[in-house]
Structure formats: structure tokens, C-alpha cells
Structure 1
């Protein structure tokens, strides 16, 4: 195989495929990217066995006539992607000639020099999962939903179902929760059965998803594939039962706080600096026309207090504690000018809704503060 291509285009395509590759793999070949000749294009694919990223780009393929036999017969191989991308990154955009032989030797030729490296033979590279898509949906509407919920995915390996995003076909919702926070976007999920997309799959899909992309679920419901223009992401689904998230969403929070979102984010960030490093706790004290945020780090003799104008319909003053980092993140996952917090008592979950985006609901569990055992 021998072809000529722009160094920048090859670099970008390799970077895309590399996102699927393993790091420090027990199988060294998984650190490579597979390259395969296909008429006047080459396809590139990286995998860590849990996900595959496949992309392609047009090239000027050299006719096999006149090539060395070992080059002419090479139609696929694996590329040492780290060394190759590092080389291409340091080159100006220029035509590069890539030559690959049947032993996996890769040669890069430019006007400035030549570079040789050794890949592996392609037969040892894992195959793509066999996909007989049972269901397919337009993926574009998922783009915004994933952005709004992905931050709530759990990192607890003991709760694998929560380590992904739940596409709830029955409840028509996209959901993620880590047990402390929950984010749900109500939207049509046109699937026959619900699925859980892994953290790695979500991260890879967010780089590709957009207008014209489709999401397909395999018949065995083991894999999901997102197909975009020139790039596809395959991800193994999480084979677990998602927890009954609806059961933790309170429906009788009768106290409403309405506040400017940016002012609340700023006050939370600044006050949180003075919270205990052990608990990261801040206290919210709600009055009809103002909200007081305060935090104290006894060990470092530090404290802070801020006031923010708000609307609060509670008949009495109310105190509730939250993890400052969690509260800040929840408030930052919307661009709404104002947010509403629905509260009940200091030991019950609070609900956050962006004003003007009623399909998006976030839940935040409180932390106990002095006087509320």
C-alpha cells in the first residue's frame, strides 16, 4: 500500500481514530491504529475492546503496478499511532507519501526527509463487533441532552449501571445520576427498550454527534453505534438494570427559590473556597427577598458569607446545606438567566430547573448542617 495525502488531514484522522485506542494495553497492538485500503480512501480504526472509533479520509492511492511486491500486497496493517501523530504534528501541512509493506513497516516520505517505524500485522487486530441493527434513531437531538446530563455519571465501579447515561425508552428521558446528583432531560427516545451507554461511549460520541448522525442498537443489545459524516463510534452497552431514578425525585417540594443563575454560581464559587476540605459544605439561608451563603473551615480559621437577591415563597426562614462543588456544577449546566430551586426540608433533595427549559430537571442531595441531625 502506498498513497499520498495531506499531512494535516492524516494527522487529524489519526487523532480521531486514536481516541478509541487503549493506553498501556496488555495487548500492545491495541495501542496501534488499524489502517485499511479501500479504493481511493483509507479507513483508520482504534479500539480498547470496549469501544471502537472508525474514520476515513480520501488519499491519492498509487497503482500497484511497479511497486515492490511486499508493498503492493499490503492492503492493511496497524500503525504506531503515537509516534506517527507526533511526527505529523511537527510537519507543516504538506503532501506526505506513506508506504506500508506486508511486514507492517511504515515509511513516511516528505520533501524534508523520511521516517520509518514498525507496526503490526493486521490479522491480530480485533474485528469490529458484528452489528445487525435492530433499531435506529436520529442522534442529533441527543447532543444537547448528553451535555446536560453526562456530568452526573457515577465513577463508582461498585454501581456499574450508574457509570453511564440511561436512555429511558419507557419514560422518554435521558438520565444520569451518581447518587448525590441527578440530571434528567425529557425527550422522545424512539427505542423499543431502554439502554445504558457507558462513560467512555458517551465521551466519544460527544465528539462526533451532530446534524445527520444516527444512533443504532444491535439486535443482541450488546453494542451501540453512532454514525456521523466519515466517522463512526461503536461502544459496548452496560448490561445492567438502571435504578428506579423516578422514585428519588420528590413531588411535594412546596418551597420555591428563584435566583439569578450567574450571581448564584459566583457566590457559590467564592463561598466554597472557605468550606472545609473534608466536606466542601456551604449553608444556604433563605429569606423572602435574599439568600445568604456561608461556609466555615474551622481547621484553618477561615469563613465567608455572601448575600444574593432572590425570591423565596417560604413562610419561614429556611436553612439547607449542599456540597459547594456539586451545587456549582449543577448551576453551570444551563445557560438560563434564572433558575428555580424547589425545596422541602433540610434533609430532603432539592430540585433545580432552569427558567425557560422545563424539560431539564436536576436533583441535588443536601448535606447535614449543624442543628439538623
Structure 2
């Protein structure tokens, strides 16, 4: 078993924080041999918060939880140990002790100890790609939108999975077409929209993946324009001790 260096850092986390952080972000991680840092979950510790980030350059998920610790550090947890942890933690109730240095991490549970090698390298500056000024906001029923996307996507081009969203007048018009087979589909969904009319294209499989990894009945989609990433956020009825956002890069719509 690898030993941690004398410069190791240590903290205690509750089970829910770690499980939620892994569950929310692991689906967005990449399988990219050329950029190994994106093949894991980036965990960033600050004195008052704990942030989990997963991205594959097309989609990005950021999950932030309020915590009390006196450590400022970060590491990249590979996908395989993250999946193992997720499974083992479901049976745990006690707090978990996490120790790590620049190369390895150790998770001490009540009856298990998991040691893994961390991914070395610099994680991309994820905050730089999250658009801050998004004047167009869509409030929509999540399940209704997911089901509409799935129905319309049947007629999308199997190579691109492109689905077009025309948003105006409190309506989202979903359109997909496959020119090679001369098939198309469209469906209109009611929403609450505050902003200018906008046309934007997304990969339908990514859209379904993002919306399926939220648990709230309603989501808000924040958009700047058709060339900038869409920001998806769950809408909660009351104040939470955590926040999450999911970002999806748009696709070019052929005129």
C-alpha cells in the first residue's frame, strides 16, 4: 500500500457531501488519453466550501457544498476509484477521513480503506468558461422537456444528434431532422421565458444526460446567445447548503 508523504493534508467529510459530489459530476468526465486531467473529478477545498467539477470540454458540471475546514488545496480523483467510493459509501453512515498528498489519496471508512493514485497535472480554469452574463432565462418543467427531447431526437441525424431549440413567447419549439432519410420532427413545450427570441442547437444525448442528472421538477436554462454555452440550474423551493450548475456547449445550426 503506498504511503502518503509527510506533507499530506487531512480532513473529515460527511458521507452525503462526498456521494452527492461524485454522483453529480462523474457522468461529465472525459475518456481522453491526450488530456488525462479531464478523466477525473476535480475536487477543490476552500475554508468555507468544497467544489467538485467534471468536464469533457463539451459539458461541464460544478457542484459546490458549504463545509467547515481549514484547508486550501485541490486534487483530481480518477474515475475508477470515484465509482468504487460511490458504491461503498452507500453503506456508510459515519464521517470519512480523507488524506492526500500530491500523488495519492486515502479514504478511511468504518470498515474499508481505499487508497488510489491521483491524476497529476493542472486542471483547466473551469470558471473562465462559465458565462456570467446570461440575460435570457427559461424556466421549464424538467421531465416535460426531457421527454420532448427524446421524442424529437428520434428524427435527428444519428451522427450529430443535433436538436434545435427556438425559444420565444413562453414556448420552446424543439426541432430535429435527418436530411439523408427525409425525416423531421418538432414539438412545442410551454415555459416561462424572460429574454429576446433565441435559436440555439444542442446535442440531444448531452441534453438528456444533463437534465436526467438533476432531481428538481423545474430547471432554469440561462442563455447569452446561440454561440455561447447554455447554463442549466436546478430550481429549489428553499435555501440549500449546496449549489450546482451544468454547462453545455452549443452546436452550429445549419441555416
TM-score (norm 2): 0.89
Give the conservation status (yes or no) of the 8 Å contact 1:138–1:212: no
Within-5 A mapping of 1:268-347: 268-315=149-196, 317-347=197-227
Q: 1:215 to 1:273 in 2, by over 3 A?
A: farther
Whose radius of gyration is greater, 1 or 2?
1
Partner of 1:7: none
Give the conservation status (yes or no) of the 8 Å contact 1:288–1:314: no
Partner of 1:230: 111
Give the conservation status (yes or no) of the 8 Å contact 1:154–1:162: yes
Shift of 1:130: 1.7
Partner of 1:187: 65
Shift of 1:213: 4.2
Shift of 1:237: 0.7
CA distance in structure 2 between the aligned counterparts of 1:290 and 1:213, rounded to whole angstroms: 46
Residue 204 of structure 1 pairs with residue 80 of structure 2: no
CA distance in structure 2 between the aligned counterparts of 1:327 and 1:307, rounded to whole angstroms: 16
What secondary structure, in the 3-state scheme, does the structure 1 residue paired with 2:73 have? coil
Identify the match of residue 359 of structure 1 among 214, 237, 243: 243
CA RMSD of aligned residues (A): 1.7
Deviations 1:239-292 (A, max 9, x none): 111110000000001100010000001011111121111111000010122111
Identify the match of residue 3 of structure 2 among 126, 130, 135: 130
Shift of 1:139: 4.3
CA distance in structure 2 between the aligned counterparts of 1:169 and 1:294, rounded to whole angstroms: 42
What secondary structure, in the 3-state scheme, does the structure 2 residue paired with 1:201 have? helix
Identify the match of residue 214 of structure 1 among 90, 96, 110: 96
Identify the match of residue 153 of structure 1 among 29, 46, 60: 29
CA distance in structure 1 between the aligned counterparts of 2:98 and 2:45, rounded to whole angstroms: 14
CA distance in structure 2 between the aligned counterparts of 1:285 and 1:301, rounded to whole angstroms: 21
Within-5 A mapping of 1:42-61: none
Partner of 1:20: none
Q: Choose between structure 1 and 2 for higher RCO, CA contacts under 8 A separated by at least 6 residues.
A: 2
What secondary structure, in the 3-state scheme, does the structure 1 residue paired with 2:191 have? strand
Deviations 1:48-93 (A, max 9, x none): xxxxxxxxxxxxxxxxxxxxxxxxxxxxxxxxxxxxxxxxxxxxxx
Give the conservation status (yes or no) of the 8 Å contact 2:97–2:109: no
